[in-house]
């Protein structure tokens, strides 16, 4: 029998121009804290997600120039609509509205540095559409 070898996802790395400022935005999005040692001006910061990989922000010299090939999809505790409004208020911007007339779909937003992410339906909204 061959031993099975795997890898654990330690963090999701996000290149950015200002690691601390972008980590603060994502800390507000997720409601999770920054790593306790992170300070303004740090070139690397982390948002600690419970039970999962951290969001790791790393400053790079070049600006974002094309669409992300990998992005985060968020499932809100509230409604999709309320979460989209909250995130826009935090500094996100609307990229694409993929909501459908029947209530399904998602919204594509971008964080303050242009990294795309999606806001999905809440579990309660999904359940209501399935019944």
DSSP classification of residue 43: S
pLDDT digits (tens, 9 = 90+) for 63-111: 888 888 899 999 999 999 999 999 999 999 999 999 999 999 999 999 9
Residue 5 in this model has a pLDDT that exceeds 90: no
Q: Which CATH class is domain 8-62?
A: alpha beta
pTM of the model: 0.91
DSSP classification of residue 87: H
Parallel, antiparallel or unpaired: strands 54-59 and 107-110:
unpaired
CB atoms within 10 A of CB 51: 4
**Domain spans in the chain, listed from the N-terminal domain onward:** 8-62, 64-131
Assign residue 2 a region (left: φ > 0; alpha: ψ between -120 and 50; beta: otherwise).
beta
pLDDT digits (tens, 9 = 90+) for 32-55: 999 999 999 999 999 999 998 999
Q: What kind of fold does domain 64-131 have according to CATH?
A: 2,3-Dihydroxybiphenyl 1,2-Dioxygenase; domain 1 (3.10.180)
**Confidence band of 15 (pLDDT split at 50, 70, 90):** very high
**Confidence band of 3 (pLDDT split at 50, 70, 90):** confident
Equal fold, 8-62 vs 64-131: yes
- Burial pattern 82-114, b for ≥16 Cβ within 10 A else e, equals ebbeebeeebbeeeeeebeeeeeebbbbbbbbb
Tokens of 91: 């500094």
């Amino acid at each position: 029998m061959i031993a099975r070898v795997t890898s654990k996802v330690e963090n999701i790395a996000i290149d950015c121009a200002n690691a601390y400022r972008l980590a603060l935005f994502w800390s507000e999005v997720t409601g999770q804290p920054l790593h306790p040692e992170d300070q303004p001006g740090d070139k690397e910061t982390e948002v600690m997600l419970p039970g999962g990989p951290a969001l790791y922000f790393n400053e790079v010299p070049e600006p974002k120039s094309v669409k992300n090939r990998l992005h985060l999809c968020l499932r809100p505790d509230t409604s999709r609509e309320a979460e989209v409004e909250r995130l826009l208020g935090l500094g996100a911007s609307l990229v694409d509205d993929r909501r459908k007339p029947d209530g399904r779909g998602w919204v594509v937003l971008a964080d303050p540095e242009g990294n795309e992410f999606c806001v999905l339906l809440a579990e309660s909204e999904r359940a209501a559409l399935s019944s």
